[in-house]
Amino acid sequence: MNRPLHEKVAIVTGAGQGIGAAIAHALAAAGARVAVNDINPDRADRVANAICTAGGTAVAIIADVSNKFQCVHLVETTRTQWGQLDILVNNAAVRPRFTILKMDEWDWQRTLDVNLKGVFLMSQLVGRVMAAENGTRGGVMVNIASTAGVAEPLADCAAYAASKAGVLGFGRECAREFAAYGIRVFTLTPPEPAPETAVAQEVLSLCVQT
C-alpha cells in the first residue's frame, strides 16, 4: 500500500464532518497520524474512531479555534501524542445565513473569529513549532477558503464571504513569510457546495509534494 505520508503528523481543524472529515480520512489513508479537531466531541470521536477502524492512526481533540488557549491545547496535545507537527489543514468554519440588513453583530463577529482568526491563531502556533523544530523537513499548511471569497456571490452569506476573502489575503502573506523556514502554504478556493472527495484529494496531493 502506498503511504506517502508515513510518520507525518497532521492537524485538521473542523474535521468532524464534511470536507474536514474527508481530508482527515485521506491523510490517514496516506499514512499520516491525524489529530481530528472539532468543537463537537461526538463528531470528532466518530471520525477518529472510523479512521482507526480502517487501519489508520487518529486522535480526537476538542477545541474551538477562535480561542487562543484552546488552540494551544490542540497544538500541544498533538505534540505530546506524537512528538512533531508536519501538516496543518485550516478547515474549521461557520456559515450563518442572514441578509446583511438582518444580520446580528454577534453572528458577524463569530464568523470572523472562527473562519479568519482561527486560521491566524493556528497558523501562528503551528508555524512557530515548524520553524523551530522541523529544520529541513519543513512543513505544509493548507487553508480552505471558498469561491465565495473571490468572485462568486453566495446569497445571505456576507460574513462568510468576507471571512474567506480574508483567508485568501492572509494565506498569501503566510506563504511569503513561512517560505524561509521551508513551510509551504496553500489556500484552496473550492466552489459552493464543495465536492468533499475532490477537495480532500487536492489537499492530499499538496501534502505529498516534495
Which of 111, 102, 89 has its CA nearest to residue 18? 89
Q: Which member of 29, 87, 160, 196 is catalytic?
A: 160
**Cα-based distances in Å from 105 to 58, 65, 111, 159:** 37, 19, 10, 10
Is 87:11 a contact under the CB 8 Å cutoff?
yes
Would you call 181 a catalytic residue per the annotation? no
Contact 121, 71 (CB under 8 A): yes
Half-sphere exposure at residue 123, Cβ-oriented, CA atoms within 13 angstroms = 28
Which segments of the chain are extended strands (E)?
Answer: 9-12, 33-38, 57-62, 87-90, 139-144, 183-188
Known catalytic residues are 160
